[in-house]
Structure 1
């Protein structure tokens, strides 16, 4: 029987995405979390901490496929203003291939700095790399998408015009690695609907099919013994291997950048691979503590069982500290709370400060919704130029 006191106690509980289960999960998560954070103790050796934390994270990501030679090939070549755009394909492991755009600036006389540009999610699965790289004959749905998230500018091309070699790979479940509806178990009504639809409507219908199917995809990934983010991170690290196979690239000047899911990808690529010398994370910065109550409704691609026990999300990015890192937050972002953004900033600022490298970390806030505006792009370009050129 509920008493007045118990009703009052329930009324004082914060509203949550999981309702009355939040106190249980919050209490459990508060035990021994982030135990491998650089701030968790006074580590005698930065390198020993880094090695220990990376090994634990790789174990949790749980994706160690059989490697394979790149066997890269160029599928098409387009000369554009100031650079050449190649469509390339290469192996990311013995069971997977991906496609990517490679943008090479004109008139290179020596190996140049390079940037891996990591595409977003946005519920737009039909395309990957095309969401931030200029392509011809774009459907209207893609034009509108780029306008909404990037103010109509394809930032990968802008980087190429500024002298960077740029690689834009597709992640699993997007673009060249997207879901094949013909191999699904009876997607009800899908094929009948696309017969009557124009190009943009067919893409919209595909995105609507792929979105809910993330649930089945992630259940199957977990059952297979790996994690979705583990697959993504492994694929993205092979992007560095591909860049290193190109004579146009200076191996000591490679950076990464991404918005939203691309920001998450940038977090893990920057953190896990010391070959990345500078990073930019746009609109994907928070702490797990803030996500527990609310805002834990992101794509299934981001969740790694037990990771919070060892490393918070900003701790992952810190694994490459004191290499230069910029985080860009959107004040009107509905996917993350301001408190979460500020908590992540505080943690990363503390780590870089403890390493006596405060000048190599920057965090900026923009009064815009979830996006990478032209102003944000310009700040990111300046950061990459400062540290890679």
Structure 2
């Protein structure tokens, strides 16, 4: 009897030790968006990542590094559609104060078209500098280019959106007033390229939901109940088809340069790009991949994958490229055309990125530009604001673009 009691006591004692040990282990592990899976994924990612970064080794030739890294990135983006002539057309023309706004449409490949706003300043007598303005995401899919370009008879929901993210100012139009030719293309899944509910297998009663609703209510229903939830199915289908969402976006954005080069108003040696949020991601890849871009501005989309692994890996499905981290970190992509001039603008109150991630990206880019003996070609600024492109940020971006393109 005593022996049995003793055995039970010993078993309980060791069980309590195991419990304490498990609790201590849990306390020692950092909390993350993926809980107890984080140590596994962190350890796996730490093995030989960013192997094509400029900082990964002593590259004897900058051009050889650039070619090798771009080739690999294009392979990972995995979108090489059949090309097609632009066949561009002007759909409408609106004269505004200091510039003319054209609504244009052109082919981005043999199976896709997009629409864009082309803003041409008045009194251009010779080819002028141009900027590709890349719209954001913001869970607002119904519109694309309209989120930073002035349009007439705007619904209340769009006005409120622009007020929140851009302090009510349409920065593309401001650039046109300052003498830049500006192109604002819709990205796939937004605006003229948005998802069509009529062709969905299950539109979840969309037609009935929007019946009798106001314009702003219809747009909100579309954003929240159609386009947003279907990002998951879109990305699964895109990956199954053998390509990547970001690859499709990047290919579309590179054709925007082709379109600008088809315009007599544009100086081919003075083309830049700018964007906020998803537009910042688009600016990162357009600047990094295409040497025809002479300077870039990235707003509110700068971090490292290391920081995102623990926290904040919850962005749009559009940004993830399988296996890219093995070869290039996010700031490495932005560095692919270094030492071309690049400005990064960070928001200290940004809930989508950690300050540590922003600073890690800054350090990496700063080191690369310094090692290329052009530290003055890289600038980073921090603003004590939430995720946005405030008027103060816009003014800094305009000054940067004027410095390098005029």
TM-score, length-normalised on structure 1?
Answer: 0.99
> In the alignment, which residue of structure 2 is the partner of 1:277?
294
> In the alignment, which residue of structure 2 is the partner of 1:89?
105
Tell me by how many angstroms 1:11 deviates. 1.3
- Take 2:147 and 2:365, find their aligned partners in 1: how far apart are those partners? 29
Q: How does 1:53-72 map to 2 (within 5 A)?
A: 53-72=69-88
> In the alignment, which residue of structure 1 is the partner of 2:369?
352
Q: 1:165 aligns with which of 168, 181, 192?
A: 181
- Take 2:216 and 2:29, find their aligned partners in 1: how far apart are those partners? 45
> In the alignment, which residue of structure 2 is the partner of 1:183?
199
Is 1:156 the counterpart of 2:191? The answer is no
> In the alignment, which residue of structure 1 is the partner of 2:3?
none
- What whole-Å deviation, never above 9, does each CA across 1:306-365 have from its counterpart, x for those lacking one? 000000000000001000000000000000000000000000000000000000000000
RMSD: 0.6
> In the alignment, which residue of structure 1 is the partner of 2:63?
47
SS at match of 1:268: helix
- Take 1:3 and 1:89, find their aligned partners in 2: how far apart are those partners? 65
More displaced 10-residue stretch of structure 1: 354-363 or 6-15? 6-15
Tell me by how many angstroms 1:302 deviates. 0.1
> In the alignment, which residue of structure 2 is the partner of 1:238?
255
Tell me by how many angstroms 1:382 deviates. 0.1
Tell me by how many angstroms 1:186 deviates. 2.4
Tell me by how many angstroms 1:196 deviates. 1.7
Tell me by how many angstroms 1:189 deviates. 2.3
Q: How does 1:239-388 map to 2 (within 5 A)?
A: 239-388=256-405
Structure 2: gaps spanning 5 or more residues? 1-14
More displaced 10-residue stretch of structure 1: 328-337 or 9-18? 9-18
- Take 1:126 and 1:12, find their aligned partners in 2: how far apart are those partners? 45
Q: 2:230 aligns with which of 187, 196, 213?
A: 213
Corresponding residue pairs, total:
389
Which one has a bigger Cα radius of gyration?
2
- Take 2:87 and 2:205, find their aligned partners in 1: how far apart are those partners? 39
Is 1:24 the counterpart of 2:72? The answer is no
Tell me by how many angstroms 1:187 deviates. 1.5
More displaced 10-residue stretch of structure 1: 362-371 or 11-20? 11-20
- Take 1:45 and 1:348, find their aligned partners in 2: how far apart are those partners? 18
- What whole-Å deviation, never above 9, does each CA across 1:209-246 have from its counterpart, x for those lacking one? 11010000000000000000000000000000000000
Tell me by how many angstroms 1:10 deviates. 1.4
SS at match of 2:337: coil
SS at match of 1:275: coil
- Take 1:32 and 1:74, find their aligned partners in 2: how far apart are those partners? 49
- Take 2:228 and 2:371, find their aligned partners in 1: how far apart are those partners? 42
Q: How does 1:69-84 map to 2 (within 5 A)?
A: 69-84=85-100
SS at match of 2:218: helix
SS at match of 1:319: helix
- Take 2:94 and 2:203, find their aligned partners in 1: how far apart are those partners? 37
Tell me by how many angstroms 1:288 deviates. 0.1
Tell me by how many angstroms 1:369 deviates. 0.1
Q: How does 1:193-204 map to 2 (within 5 A)?
A: 193-204=209-220
- Take 2:291 and 2:48, find their aligned partners in 1: how far apart are those partners? 27
Q: How does 1:133-144 map to 2 (within 5 A)?
A: 133-144=149-160
- Take 2:200 and 2:21, find their aligned partners in 1: how far apart are those partners? 52
- Take 1:374 and 1:4, find their aligned partners in 2: how far apart are those partners? 54
- Take 1:109 and 1:180, find their aligned partners in 2: how far apart are those partners? 42
- Take 2:136 and 2:29, find their aligned partners in 1: how far apart are those partners? 35
> In the alignment, which residue of structure 2 is the partner of 1:115?
131
- What whole-Å deviation, never above 9, does each CA across 1:227-269 have from its counterpart, x for those lacking one? 0000000000000000000000000000000000000000000
